[in-house]
Structure 1
């Protein structure tokens, strides 16, 4: 795994500042501590930081073709590179290395922009074709690997794996995008293709971008999407058998490495399934790791131990202090943009633990989105059944009134928190789902923002993000639709961003077999009722895994990394959060209604309301402002 950067003069061949390129590259040293390389020529500069995984003795980047006319800088892994290499050798191409990077160069020469259609893996790369004066960028289909870019007023186009690399460039505009701020306080992250800065973009998952010197166009185009084309001819038994075979293959192709390899084993279904497949494919014990929490409500290590014992893994467990908030100030440096998923803290720790033993780790990320594991999916399907009984013109005033008058009881089980349900039923399908995933609901976002900032938004609302994706969704089935929305927003913007930055901070490569695009395509075509059956999420997945995993692992309530924010903000971080939220950075930004923020703080710290998610998002935004604005 690596870090990439580049500078391209779009309309001329001005000399590239090599020192600037070097600073951009070195800002990502953590992504590739093994080696670094720069290439400059008139009007172009590429940089690369390398974490050596395959072909350790060669494959240094930037890497050229045989006649030095095409060069690539690349982050990721192409798992089917040997198969593609054979095809290219049959076409007459001669290879100098055994790494997957060289395959990208010759695939470009052979197939042009359609080369990405052949790649199976996670990647973000840039190719410079000197004879045609074309710069080509591409990002993998699900967004496992990041790629930022900016089209600068001075005619330069720059890119990098992380935002911090672009911010080394003195010409990058630092103006904050107000719509990105609205998005952040709704979702907890800035969804692709926006960044927090209006002058910087992310290349969206499954998109590519072609720039020809002298031409003004700079518009990415989509080369892949999740199809959700249901196969009605497959039986449930056939689907179970094929799911295991496809999962095993997705794991198998991710076991290629010339460095120590292992897996995260949380004790949940997804990571346990990956470990079970790894064990069936490996002659040696699989290296696995878990972190434990002091709070038994969130500690899954006994379930992880069951799987580790069953498959005789080399298992390592490390205890994490549930009050480990020492990383709070580190997060802004890791994520560059405001990022409010507090599970980034334990994710950082599990990556830190894994790196003590391995350089590559397989994870179970993507299973919930693929196979309908989130509880919110069940609630959404239930709410959709109710919505179908009454038109929106009736539901909006009826349930809107009930939602308004019903008391808010944060402490109660969800079944008794009818206020949120009534509010969701008063909305259309997409708005209802948005209400369920928002960190701060509409009324709180309106409250925290100043009147001047709300005017600056000009009517924009973060729900527009979901509406935009819903318009192009390949399925209108209630379950498939929200799975699709999550794959476009939450998966790349939150889950994969969290893991990429936390793992790269430790020079650890994480591979995600459940997000193999061929597996994702096939799963998306399964009937929705075999993914979510009644109240049982991941129904087919769990049935398929019964021969491989203990029932206690398969059929128990879902758990996950949890951070005791509510207690922190009333205890050890009480003054820290108050200083941040009521301090000068937020006050002087012009974004916030400071009286409302004080009310939130007072209510939370008095124990009257749980505003922990909102306060955490404010704490992370203040930390971002302190470093970058």
Structure 2
């Protein structure tokens, strides 16, 4: 996209990064909100919120366990194999990305630590590679400081995410856009690639010694078993998601590239 913008002579592009984090647009925020209500004893309110989203047909219709599991409490997750090597196991390196307190606190963590920093990092790298400039109106500090502290009821209401923003945009946009039910993104067919054209490459990678295994980061045999289980499950279902496969592979490829520095 940045290359195409360069070809068209578009110098400055506006990005929507930050909107989901400050307005509770991601599906996970509904789960966090229900968790917060339940933990505070507001069972009826939690049930009412859940039912409004069922009736509206938003968010819940797009629920995917493979994507949601990292945000779920451990007691709600299916057990899965641990492919970490001894260095990571001994360090107890799990990073908790679920809810730990209030939803607003979790929004701040996404803005400062988990979500926004990573997204704007690679977006900036891609734009700079083609001499384009990205601007982020949703991350203007005036906007963030006004919206993040708002009660969650203004962001998740009546079966809708980003409720207050939708209401503000309603007079300016067609109904079909302002109140669109399904959240879409740019889909990269990684799931298909790892099952088809990249399958031979992954097999070759698994057949050799791993730098990340030598460093104690990944257990290659356990990952091989995970990958085989991933190939056996339905392409559009199952418990293993793309991150379960891509993350260890990416770590190994990174370790191979910088092996000479890592051994020093």
TM-score by length of structure 1 reads 0.34
**If you compute each CA radius of gyration, which structure gives the higher value, 1 or 2?**
1
Higher helix share: 2
- Higher relative CO (CA 8 A, sep ≥ 6), structure 1 or 2? 2
For 1:375-524, list aligned pairs within 5 A.
375-389=27-41, 414=63, 420=69, 424=73, 426=75, 443-444=80-81, 447-455=82-90, 457=91, 459-463=92-96, 478-524=102-148
**Secondary structure at the counterpart of residue 489 of structure 1:** helix
Gaps of 5+ in 1: 1-349, 391-411, 428-434, 436-440, 471-475
Give the RMSD, CA atoms, in angstroms: 3.2
Q: 2:216 aligns with which of 590, 595, 605?
A: 590
Q: 1:599 aligns with which of 220, 225, 240?
A: 225
Specify whether residues 421 and 387 from structure 1 end up closer, same or farther in structure 2 by C-alpha distance, changes over 3 A only: farther
State the shift of 1:542 in Å: 0.7
Cross-structure match for 2:262: none
For 1:522-533, list aligned pairs within 5 A.
522-533=146-157
In the alignment, the residues of structure 2 paired with residue 381 and residue 425 of structure 1 have an alpha-carbon distance, to the nearest angstrom, of 17
In the alignment, the residues of structure 1 paired with residue 73 and residue 98 of structure 2 have an alpha-carbon distance, to the nearest angstrom, of 15
Cross-structure match for 1:366: 18
Higher strand share: 1
Gaps of 5+ in 2: 43-60, 260-264
In the alignment, the residues of structure 1 paired with residue 17 and residue 30 of structure 2 have an alpha-carbon distance, to the nearest angstrom, of 20
Cross-structure match for 1:248: none
Q: Deviations over 1:495-526 (max 9, x none)?
A: 11121111112121101111111121122243
**Secondary structure at the counterpart of residue 245 of structure 2:** helix
For 1:64-79, list aligned pairs within 5 A.
none
For 1:323-362, list aligned pairs within 5 A.
350-356=1-7, 357-362=9-14
**Secondary structure at the counterpart of residue 510 of structure 1:** strand
Specify whether residues 422 and 522 from structure 1 end up closer, same or farther in structure 2 by C-alpha distance, changes over 3 A only: closer
**Secondary structure at the counterpart of residue 17 of structure 2:** coil
| 2:24–2:162 contact (8 Å) kept in structure 1 | yes
Cross-structure match for 1:618: 248
In the alignment, the residues of structure 1 paired with residue 142 and residue 64 of structure 2 have an alpha-carbon distance, to the nearest angstrom, of 37
**Secondary structure at the counterpart of residue 353 of structure 1:** helix
TM-score by length of structure 2 reads 0.76
Specify whether residues 581 and 487 from structure 1 end up closer, same or farther in structure 2 by C-alpha distance, changes over 3 A only: farther
In the alignment, the residues of structure 2 paired with residue 622 and residue 442 of structure 1 have an alpha-carbon distance, to the nearest angstrom, of 24
